[in-house]
Amino acid sequence: MPISKCLQKSEPLWKGWDRKAQKNGLRHQVYAISGDCYVGEWKDNMKHGKGTQIWKKKGAIYEGDWKFGKRDGYGTLSFPDQEMGKPRKVYSGWWKDDKKSGYGIQFFGPKEYYEGEWCGNLRSGWGRMYYSNGDIYEGQWLNDKPHGEGMLRQKNGNCYEGYWQRGMKNGSGRFFHLDHGQLFEGFWVDNVAKCGTMIDFGRDEAPEPTQFPIPKIKILDPDGVLEEALAMFKKTEED
C-alpha cells in the first residue's frame, strides 16, 4: 500500500520579516522619520531599559532609564550650548511616565538652580532654590511655587521664616532685618505684612543699625491692680 506524506505548509515570508523587525534587547542607532535617534534597549518594539535619545529639532539629549517607551527611572536631560561648545545639563534626577517625578536637580542658568522633589514636571514637596540674585529659598513647594512652611534667605543676610501660599508670604511668619538689627513678627497676606510687632534684634552687631533703638513699652500700674489680677489668674490655673 503506497505511503502518502502530507507536505508541511511553509510560513509566509512576511511573518519572518515581521519577526526580525521586532525590536527587543540592545540595538544600535534607530532613526525615526523625524530624524530623532535612539540607541539602547528595547522590549516589544518599545524603548525599555537603558538608552539614549537625541531629538534632532531641538538637539536635546536624554540619557537614562526607559519603561515601555517613556522616560521612567533615573536620567539626565541636556541641551546644546553654543558658548560651551558641548551639551549643557538641564535636569538630572528621577522620572515617571515621561515626566520629572521624585528627587532631581534643574538648572535654570549658570547661577540659578533647584534641588528637591518634583511631581508631574512641577516642583512639589521639599526643595531648595538658588536664585541668580543670590537669594535662597528652602522649604515646601506646590505646583512649581513656594507653598507651606519655608525660609527665604536674601543676599544681604535678611531672612523670612514662615508660611507661603502660591509663591507669596501668607500667614504667620518672622522677618529678620539683620542689616538694621530688627525683627518683625506678624501676619502676611500676599507678601504684605498686615499686623505684627517689631523689636530690636542684634542691633549692636548690625552693619547698618537704625539711628535710635525701639523703646520698650512699660505698663503703668501704680495701684498694683494688674499685678493682683495676674496672681489670681495663675492661682485659678493651678487649682
Q: What pTM was estimated for this model as a whole?
A: 0.77
Do 46 and 53 meet the contact criterion of CB atoms below 8 Å apart? no
How far is it, in rounded angstroms, from Cα 75 to Cα 56? 19
Quick: pLDDT tens for 122-133.
999 999 999 999
Query: Could you tell me the three cell numbers for 174?
Result: 518672622
pLDDT at 179 over 70: yes
Quick: pLDDT tens for 66-99.
999 999 999 999 999 888 778 999 999 999 999 9
In order of 14, 93, 109, 174, the CA distances from 88 in angstroms are 45, 15, 10, 39
In order of 33, 168, 182, the CA distances from 157 in angstroms are 54, 19, 12
Task: Kindly indicate the confidence band of residue 212, based on its pLDDT and cuts at 50, 70 and 90.
Answer: confident
The residues near 1 (Cβ < 8 Å, ≥ 6 apart) are none
CATH number of the structural domain 22-229: 2.60.450.20
Quick: pLDDT tens for 31-63.
888 999 999 999 988 999 999 999 999 999 999
How far is it, in rounded angstroms, from Cα 208 to Cα 194? 25
> Amino acid letter at 210?
T
